[in-house]
Amino acid sequence: MSEHDGREQQPEMKEPADLASAPLAYENSDFLDSPDGRILRILSEYSEPLGRFRREHVQDTVVFFGSARFRAMDVAARELELLDNTGSVQAAPEEEQPASPDDPAASELQRKLGEAAVEMAQYYEDARKLAYMLTTWAKTIRSKRYRFVVTSGGGPGIMEAANRGAYEAGGKTIGLNIKLPYEQHPNRYITPALNFEFHYFFMRKYWFAYLAKALVVFPGGFGTLDEMFELLTLAQTQKLAKRMTVIIYGESYWRKVINIEMLVEKGTISPYDLDLFRFANTPEQAFEILRENLTRDHLQQHQVRGTEEPSSVEAELKLRPEITATRS
């Protein structure tokens, strides 16, 4: 009897087909989009913006925060419209749309929103004017790098107003957009080379704080409150190794939204924490605060704006923004 008798016959093995080259790890979208690739996605949202800021010779910024939901005055004067959400290009539902106070068919909510839409449109115009004034002044500063570049979250509303004012003044202007589940897009006034989109909120917030020498907070909602208090907390806890000017714009609005004095009365913050910010109610008032503080805290007389390109690696390094130190 053969030694193979009683055993199941194995099928004949076929030669495998030739394999294509495996994708390089950094070109493998399945890996990059997976949980294992998350650390690389996070690092890319640090490294790629840093490279662009260096190439564009941006030294520091002034950040504008505020509502994304309201239109410019010229738009509001023609037809009041409220956007659906932060960053959205879709209109809010009809029952939430602003209406003229004398419209008999309008609900009480719609009438109140109509009044607010005009008020918020004025804030749009104020942000636009302030960004124009700041950029016009910053262009006179003699420096090899661009100083106090107006920066926003990149969307509509107050963000658009800030970028628009800087654009109209002929300066660079930055938009740090965030990818959201609903339709949204960057506003048209952002300098194309400084148009960013982030997946991670915390990396976007890092870039808001990284180069900022001042913050101007216009009326807004949850996102504005979140961003404002996060930067105030960094300043309060001395985690910023620089002096940060914080202007809260529109005192009557903000005093109705938050009672900061109550925090002092209840002992949850120090009375000295009230010195972390200042209120302003006109573009002129806000600009004077910015110009005075930025000049005192961050301008150095020996900086000279050069027209020539860096001729060496050492010269190029001098044009790059410094890494913001933190306090241990």
Domain boundaries, the chain: 50-76+121-299
Split at pLDDT 50, 70, 90, the class of 311 is: very low
Q: List, in sequence order, every residue forming a beta bridge with 58; answer none if it has no partner.
A: 146
- CB–CB of 294/212 below 8 Å? no
**For the residues 111-137, what does the mean pLDDT come to?**
86
What does the pLDDT look like over 231-258, one tens digit per residue? 999 999 989 889 999 999 999 999 999 9
What's the CATH fold of domain 50-76+121-299?
Rossmann fold (3.40.50)
Say yes or no to pLDDT of 92 above 60.
yes
Residues of the chain with pLDDT > 70: what percent? 74
Detail the DSSP E strand segments found in the chain.
Answer: 61-65, 149-152, 173-178, 195-198, 212-217, 245-249, 278-280
CA atoms within 13 A on the CB side of 109: 6
Whether the predicted pLDDT of 107 surpasses 70? no
Does the pLDDT value for residue 308 go beyond 70? Answer: no
Identify whether the C-beta of residue 125 lies closer than 8 Å to the C-beta of residue 165: no
* 48-59 average pLDDT score: 96
Distance, CA of 30 to CA of 303 (rounded, Å): 47
What does the pLDDT look like over 163-174, one tens digit per residue? 999 999 999 999
DSSP label at residue 91:
B
Q: What is the mean pLDDT of residues 118-139?
A: 93
Give the pair of three-digit tokens for residue 102: 């004398």
| Sheet-wide strand order for 212-217 | 195-198, 173-178, 149-152, 61-65, 212-217, 245-249, 278-280
pLDDT band at 305 (very low <50, low <70, confident <90, very high): very low
pLDDT of residue 302 exceeding 50, the answer is no
Q: With bands split at pLDDT 50, 70 and 90, how would you rate the model's confidence at 266?
A: very high
User: Average of pLDDT values for 107-122?
Assistant: 71
Task: Report pLDDT for 34.
Answer: 95
Contacts of 58 (CB under 8 A, 6+ apart): 145, 146, 149, 172, 174, 194, 211, 321
Checking if the pLDDT of 105 tops 80, the result is no
Quote the pLDDT of residue 5.
Answer: 60
Dihedral of the alpha carbons of 300, 305, 310, 314, in degrees to the nearest 10? -10
User: What pLDDT score was predicted for residue 304?
Assistant: 42
% of the chain residues with pLDDT over 90: 61
pLDDT at 199: 94
Q: Quick check: 283 pLDDT over 90?
A: yes
- Mean pLDDT of all residues in 175-203: 90
Q: Of 237, 244, 174, nearest to 213 (Cα)?
A: 244
Between 198 and 316, whose confidence is greater? 198
Q: What are phi and psi of 15, to 5 degrees?
A: -70, 135
Q: Reduced to 3 states, what is the DSSP secondary structure of residue 150?
A: strand
The confidence band for 131, taking pLDDT boundaries of 50, 70 and 90, is: very high
Condensed to tens digits (0 to 9), the pLDDT of residues 143-165 reads 999 999 999 999 888 999 999 99
pLDDT exceeds cutoff 90 at 189: yes
